């Protein structure tokens, strides 16, 4: 078993990470008496009680069985409860493997507990299955493994996902094998999020309220996120004075002062970012101005639990704008725009052809002007979708952009653009 608490303490205390913090090993490590963590793309946290095991989350449909195998190497006790921290597929998709294991062992089916909005999320996933499959492929498909074991190519929410049996709205107290568990609802990455307080262990199961990256409050392809409420939730957790903090991504954290410091820094980063965006909105700024004016200090983003390696502050700005300002960005020309292909054709004509646009994009990219280069490359590609030279240059510009980005979300979208041009060229 890995000493996860020693590793996280060393990284936090040193102020920098010299090895991975979001590990996907499918291995189980004990972090306290009767508490264990299985490290997966989304972890499973296990609590052992007199009646059996409580599992907080179940990982994804592709990794649930491996998590069950690790669990069974640790304990043969029945799993009495599955508690979903929220309804994202990397947290609930493995539930079918847990239910199947119970059936195979002759155990009672685990009781599934979640916030009431999880059911609504599942319904939405089924209604928008094709869209969510496409998002998943764009976000993760460029990585080895075709999606990090998140989901299969056709079904976003696995059909075997267990529906909640018990739901709650604000708080819920349960006793599992005599062990008290307090569930608290808060908005953050999702509107259906739960964090759990274990008073006997002085531990918090936090779900995605901490991911050892900058908070995932801006994902450009997903529904509304809630950075303000996220900060409030972190401060509510800190008020419990936990001595053990168990996130669903990244390393568990030990020590009351250390945990309080981490939660405060993450909450402050979100609060400051939201305040800066609202200040400029109230002054009448357009979204374009805000995106290029509001920044998070480099020293904050250098913290080992705030690095922009998954989401990033620029995307959070968009989510704040969307929540308070609507979908229009403030530019009159984008309120009822011309078709993108028509604009691209006009710009190509003015520039002397689509290839001229593409070549200029390539020149800009070579000098590091990647934002501007992508605009021109995209126009060139739209104006001449079947031109081999244009599509080759478009792919090269977006590949440069992918390599230059830090966040997985940005890398995924730019990698998807590269694949589009290669497909147009008949390449795989």
Is there a single domain that holds both residue 78 and residue 193? yes
Question: What is the Cα–Cα distance from 165 to 236, expressed in whole angstroms?
Answer: 27
Closest C-alpha to 194, from 207, 211, 176, 203: 207
Contacts of 21 (CB under 8 A, 6+ apart): 8, 11, 212, 250, 251, 304, 305
pLDDT-above-70 percentage for the chain: 97
Q: What is the mean pLDDT of residues 126-137?
A: 94
Torsion of CA 314, 192, 237, 216, to 10 degrees: -20
Q: Is residue 190 located within the same domain as residue 74?
A: yes
Backbone angles phi, psi at 293, to 5 degrees: -105, -35
**Same domain (yes/no): 232, 351:** no
Q: Are 157 and 125 in contact (CB under 8 A)?
A: yes
Q: In 3-state terms, what secondary structure has residue 349? A: helix
- Domain assignment of residue 311, yes or no: no
Q: Looking at the structure, tell me whether residues 346 and 261 fall in a common domain.
A: no
* Residue 427 binned pLDDT confidence (cut-offs 50, 70, 90): confident
117, 214: one domain: yes
Considering the domain boundaries, does residue 271 fall inside one? Answer: no
pLDDT-derived band of residue 152, with 50, 70 and 90 as boundaries?
low
When pLDDT is cut at 50, 70 and 90, the band that residue 159 belongs to is: very high
Q: Is the pLDDT of residue 149 over 60?
A: no
Q: Give the HSE-up count for residue 311: Cα atoms under 13 Å, Cβ half-sphere.
A: 27
Among 237, 407, 235, which residue's Cα sits nearest to residue 316?
A: 407
Q: Is the pTM of this model over 0.85?
A: yes
pLDDT of residue 238: 98
Tell me, yes or no, whether 206 and 118 share the same domain. Answer: yes
What is the predicted pLDDT for the residue at 1? 62
The residue segments making up the domain with residue 414 are: 338-424
Residue 302, domain member (yes or no): no
Q: Give the chain's end-to-end CA distance (angstroms, integer).
A: 41
Give the domain-ending residue among 207, 241, 266: 266
Q: What is the mean pLDDT of residues 239-268?
A: 98
Phi, psi of 394 (to 5 degrees): -60, -45
- Per-residue pLDDT of 42-92, as tens digits, reads 999 999 999 999 999 999 999 999 999 999 999 999 999 999 999 999 999
Q: What number is the average pLDDT over the span 37-43?
A: 97
What is the pLDDT at residue 164? 98
Same domain? 259 vs 346: no
User: Above 80 in pLDDT, residue 38?
Assistant: yes
> Is residue 171 in some structural domain?
yes
Confidence of residue 140 (pLDDT cuts 50, 70, 90): confident
Query: pLDDT tens digits for 167-207?
Result: 999 999 999 999 999 999 999 999 999 999 999 999 999 99
Please give the mean pLDDT across all residues of the chain.
Answer: 96
CB 64 within 8 A of CB 96: yes
Do 50 and 182 share a domain, yes or no? yes
Is residue 376 over pLDDT 70? yes
- Domain-terminating residue out of 207, 233, 266: 266
Query: How far apart, in whole angstroms, are the C-alpha atoms of residue 16 and residue 307?
Result: 10
Question: Is there a single domain that holds both residue 342 and residue 245?
Answer: no
Has residue 146 got a pLDDT over 90? no
Mean pLDDT of 314-325: 98
By three-state DSSP, how is residue 330 classified? coil
Per the domain annotation, does 325 fall within a domain? no
Asked which of 229, 251, 266 is the last residue of a domain, the reply is 266
pLDDT of 147: 41
List the CATH number of the domain containing 212. 3.60.15.30
Q: What confidence tens digit (pLDDT) does each residue in 255-279 have?
A: 999 999 999 999 999 999 999 999 9
Band (pLDDT 50/70/90 cuts) for residue 141 is: confident
The answer to whether residue 154 scores a pLDDT higher than 90 is no
Both 259 and 373 in a single domain? no
Pure H helices in 60-174: 64-74, 89-92, 95-105, 117-127, 129-140
CATH number of 366's domain: 1.25.40.880
Instruction: Say if 116 falls within a structural domain.
Output: yes
Q: Region of 190 please: left (phi>0), alpha (psi -120 to 50) or beta.
A: beta
Asked whether residue 312 is domain-assigned, the answer is no
Give yes or no: residues 255 and 350 share one domain: no
Report how many domains make up the chain. 2
The helix/strand/coil state of 148 is: coil
Model confidence at 428, in pLDDT bands (50, 70, 90)? low
Which has the closest alpha carbon to 258: 14, 1, 3, 2?
14
Q: Is residue 301 part of a domain?
A: no
Q: Is the pLDDT of residue 148 over 80?
A: no
346 and 235 part of one domain: no
Residue 151: pLDDT band (50, 70, 90) is: low
């Amino acid at each position: 078993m890995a000493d996860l608490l020693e590793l996280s303490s060393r990284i936090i205390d040193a102020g920098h990470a010299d090895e991975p913090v979001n590990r996907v090993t499918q291995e189980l490590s004990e972090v306290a008496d009767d508490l264990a963590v299985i490290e997966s793309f989304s972890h499973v946290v296990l609590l052992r009680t007199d009646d059996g095991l409580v599992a907080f989350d179940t990982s994804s449909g592709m990794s649930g069985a491996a998590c069950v195998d690790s669990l069974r190497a640790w304990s043969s006790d029945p799993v009495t409860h599955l508690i979903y921290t929220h309804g994202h597929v990397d947290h609930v998709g493995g539930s079918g493997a847990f239910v199947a294991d119970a059936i195979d062992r002759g155990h009672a089916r685990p009781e599934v507990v979640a916030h009431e909005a999880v059911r609504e999320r599942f319904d939405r996933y089924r209604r928008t299955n094709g869209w969510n499959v496409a998002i998943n492929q764009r976000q993760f498909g460029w990585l080895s493994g075709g999606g990090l074991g998140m989901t299969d190519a056709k079904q976003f929410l696995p059909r075997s996902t267990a529906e909640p049996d018990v739901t709650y709205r604000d708080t819920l107290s349960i006793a599992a094998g005599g062990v008290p568990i307090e569930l608290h609802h808060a908005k953050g990455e999702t509107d259906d999020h739960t964090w759990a307080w274990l008073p006997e262990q002085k531990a918090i199961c936090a779900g995605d309220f901490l991911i050892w990256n900058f908070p995932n409050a801006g994902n450009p392809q997903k529904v509304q996120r809630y950075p303000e409420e996220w900060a409030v939730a972190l401060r509510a957790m800190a008020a419990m004075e936990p001595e053990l903090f168990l996130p669903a991504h990244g390393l568990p954290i030990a020590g009351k002062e250390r945990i309080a410091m981490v939660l405060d820094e993450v909450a402050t980063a979100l609060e400051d970012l939201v305040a800066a965006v609202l200040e400029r909105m109230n002054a009448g700024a357009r979204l374009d101005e805000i995106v290029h004016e509001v920044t998070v200090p480099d020293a904050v983003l250098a913290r080992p639990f705030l690095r922009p390696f998954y989401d990033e502050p620029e995307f959070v700005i968009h989510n704040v704008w969307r929540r308070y300002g609507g979908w229009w960005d403030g530019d009159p020309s984008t309120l009822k725009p011309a078709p993108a292909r028509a604009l691209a054709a006009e710009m190509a004509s003015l520039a002397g052809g689509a290839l001229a646009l593409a070549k200029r994009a390539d020149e800009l990219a070579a000098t590091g002007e990647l934002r501007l280069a992508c605009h021109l490359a995209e126009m060139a590609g739209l104006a001449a979708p079947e031109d081999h030279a244009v599509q080759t240059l478009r792919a090269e510009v977006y590949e440069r952009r992918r390599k230059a980005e830090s966040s997985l979300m940005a890398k995924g979208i730019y990698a998807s653009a590269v694949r589009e041009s290669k497909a147009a060229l008949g390449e795989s």
